[in-house]
Amino acid sequence: MLKQKPNAKLSFLPTTDIRPLAETLIAFANSDGGMIVLGVDDNGHPTESIWEEDAEGALREAVSLCDPRIPTEWRVMEGGLIGIYVPRSHDLHACADGRILTRRGRHNYTLSGNEIRTLANSKNSAEFETNLVPGARPDDLNRDIIREYIDRREARGSAKIDDMADFLFQIGATNRDGEPTMIGILLFGKNPQMFFPQSGVVFVKFNGKEARDVGGGVGYGRRDEIAGPLARIVERSWNVIHEEMRVGATVNQLAREDLTEYPRFAVREALVNAIAHRDYHITGRRIEIRMYADRMEIISPGGLPGYMTLDNLVEDHYSRNPRLVNGLYQWGYIEELGLGIDQMIEEMAQAGHPPPTFKATPYSFTVALSNKKERPFTPKWERSMNERQIRALTHIRENGSITNREYRQICPTVSSETLRLDLVDLVNRGLLLKIGSKRGTNYILK
């Protein structure tokens, strides 16, 4: 955990100061939950030893500053560090001074009036996941799929599960009597579409750049309707997309590397996000995958949840369906919670494509991936770079070199020291050559 950087679900606090602890409790509870580690700085380095009694007292005082109070779990971790787990809450929590906070990337963020109203209206939506499904019986669940899911969880390091019935109740898939809930049917149902026809996917491949051909008729060459429990929908949708994507190749350092029309990770992330975050209240419309000659669009029913907007998609994270999201995470279809959008953008950039475009309406959310190439494919040795370094290399390819001043102009919101270290890293890795000194320093491709 300490090797990670603070993010939407992880916070490092160097001391037991009450105010920042209370603010972080509130931010996590109003968002998707998270873990607070005490006695650690932002780089994951221990700062001071914190006694259990001090941590417990600080937590008790911090919780008293939260309105309403927030349930937490705390434990002593390896190395004597104190970890505080904060679950996502169905309530809307505020500080003693009335501020309402959520988590934005690695920071706590104070919501505006409109954002507070939007979050309050969406707080009860997650309870829909655990509603019983009228007419559904325990034998509507597929035991083989449940067993496969449990095996995946255990392979990821979760504790061994001995009592399947109790486990299904704990994750919200059934009630105590074994009757299936919405999330149970969607994840493990033998035929989920019998109860939720809207939970399927429609794939359409069009011959041109528009849905109609030149004569005004329907211009598609393939149409598939994809059904089943959600894990199978992810697999089957990906297989259909992959069958229709053009595949090329490049040779990098004598090794052949397949290049798909769209980066695999970006496609998978857009697909899984649509399935995980769609609004399952909306009936009569399924997720649509539209593949055109120049782009792919994945359209998910339902607007952006909670306080999410097009402006904070990269930094913020809020799940309309938190149990479903966790289920797909345990299946292995979501690699790290809350980090998908920025990785999707980075994958598109590394493959030479323009970034994905996003469109939000009150009733739908669309991700569009372009197959246009803006620059050459980035080989594997460049893929460990951050987005700033990729911009620097793009500038050098186009202009021959880059200076520190030019780099600051490209990344105006980043500190000069961080940018300097970016360039030093590229020099140390043998990718750039440093020419000149002081104000006359230039960097060129080695």
Q: What is the DSSP string of 389-420?
A: HHHHHHHHHHHS-B-HHHHHHHSTTS-HHHHH
Going from N- to C-terminal start, the domains of the chain cover: 10-110, 128-195, 198-370, 384-445
Strand partners, 109: 102
Give the pair of three-digit tokens for residue 436: 């000149």
The amino acid at 445: L
Q: Judge contact between 419 and 409, C-beta under 8 A.
A: no
For 198-370, the fitting CATH number among 3.40.50.1000, 2.30.40.10, 3.30.420.10, 3.30.565.60 is 3.30.565.60
If phi > 0 it is left, if psi is from -120 to 50 it is alpha, else beta; for residue 56 that is alpha
User: Are 93 and 66 a contacting pair, CB within 8 Å?
Assistant: yes
Q: What is the pLDDT of residue 253?
A: 44
- Per DSSP bridges, beta strands 287-291 and 255-260 are unpaired
Q: What is the structure's pLDDT at 247?
A: 75
One DSSP character per residue, 115-151 reads HHHHHHHHGGGGGGGGSB-TT--GGGB-HHHHHHHHH
Q: Quote the pLDDT of residue 292.
A: 94
Q: Which residues contact 217 (CB under 8 A, 6 or more apart)?
A: none
Alpha-helical segments (H) within 225-365: 230-244, 264-277, 322-331, 340-350
Q: What is residue 325's three-state secondary structure?
A: helix
pLDDT tens, per residue, the chain with 446 residues: 777 788 888 999 999 999 999 999 999 999 888 999 999 988 888 887 888 888 999 999 999 999 999 999 888 887 778 999 998 888 899 999 999 999 987 889 999 888 888 788 776 555 788 899 999 999 999 999 999 999 998 888 777 888 999 999 999 999 999 999 999 999 999 999 999 999 999 999 998 888 876 566 667 789 999 999 999 999 999 999 999 998 765 544 444 456 789 999 899 999 999 999 999 989 889 999 999 999 999 999 998 887 788 887 877 778 888 889 989 988 888 866 656 787 888 888 888 888 899 999 989 999 999 999 876 555 555 556 787 888 888 888 778 889 988 998 888 888 888 888 889 888 888 888 888 777 778 898 87
Q: What is 384-445's CATH number, 2.60.40.420, 1.10.10.10, 3.30.70.260, 1.10.357.10?
A: 1.10.10.10
- Record the tokens describing residue 127, joined without a space: 């309870």
pLDDT at 254: 42
Residues 6+ apart with CB under 8 A from 118: 306, 307
How many CB atoms neighbour CB 254 within 10 A?
Answer: 5
Burial class (CB in 10 A: 0-12, 13-18, 19+), 46: middle
Structure tokens at 409: 């102009």
Cα–Cα distance, 320 to 48 (Å, whole number) = 38
10-110 CATH:
3.30.950.30
247 SS3 class: strand
**Could you give the 3-state DSSP secondary structure of residue 346?**
helix
* Threshold 0.75, pTM exceeds: no
pLDDT at 251: 47
